[in-house]
């Protein structure tokens, strides 16, 4: 055969090879997707975020507080921290008056001024304490910290 025959032969070879590669890609595509899905599921299941229970942080480079809002001898129910606020809900078997006395002493020692028995202010920040006693004599303590420090 002359040059035309070789060209036709190469064309047939390339077409045949491309068809084989296309079949491999088509057949392997679901397996690749399945593998990536399994990998993503595994990563999701094994992810464990770190939780920093100490309330020292910064807001726009400024320290928001230097003490922990958790009451001793409590179990934390929930805790959330945002840029300029923190809220902690906890439960204890202590009486509500004992809890209020603890926060009164701790906050006034750190320079907070008492507005009422459950509201304290310092500069542009406010702490409010809400207490609830349930039927099982468990005191639910909610402490909210708000700072009016503008973000920069």
pLDDT value at 62 more than 70 = no
Q: Indicate the pTM of the whole model.
A: 0.54
Tokens describing residue 22? 């296309």
Task: For the chain, give percent helix, strand, coil, nearest 5.
Answer: 40, 30, 30
Tokens describing residue 111? 């320079």
| Other beta carbons within 10 Å of 127 | 21
Give the pLDDT confidence of 127-147 residue by residue, as tens digits. Answer: 999 999 988 889 999 999 888
Give the pLDDT confidence of 64-97 residue by residue, as tens digits. Answer: 455 678 888 888 888 888 777 888 999 999 999 9
Interatomic CA distance for residues 106 and 132, integer angstroms: 20
pLDDT value at 1 more than 80 = no
- Which residues 6+ apart lie within 8 Å of 133 measured at CB? 96, 139, 140
Element (H, E) at 45: helix 3-46
Residue 87: φ, ψ to 5°: -135, 135
Fill in the DSSP letter of residue 52: -
């Amino acid at each position: 055969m002359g040059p035309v025959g070789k060209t036709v032969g190469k064309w047939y070879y390339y077409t045949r090879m491309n068809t084989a590669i296309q079949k491999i890609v088509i057949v392997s595509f679901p397996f690749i997707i399945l593998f990536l899905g399994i990998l993503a599921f595994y990563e999701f299941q094994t992810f464990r975020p770190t939780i920093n229970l100490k309330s020292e942080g910064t807001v726009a480079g400024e320290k928001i507080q230097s003490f922990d809002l958790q009451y001793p001898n409590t179990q934390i129910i929930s805790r959330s921290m945002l840029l300029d606020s923190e809220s902690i809900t906890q439960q204890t078997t202590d009486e509500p008056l004992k809890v209020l006395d603890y926060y009164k002493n701790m906050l006034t020692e750190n320079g907070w001024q008492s507005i009422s028995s459950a509201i304290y202010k310092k500069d542009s920040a406010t702490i409010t304490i809400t207490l609830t006693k349930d039927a099982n004599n468990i005191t639910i303590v909610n402490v909210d910290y708000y700072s009016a420090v503008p973000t920069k």
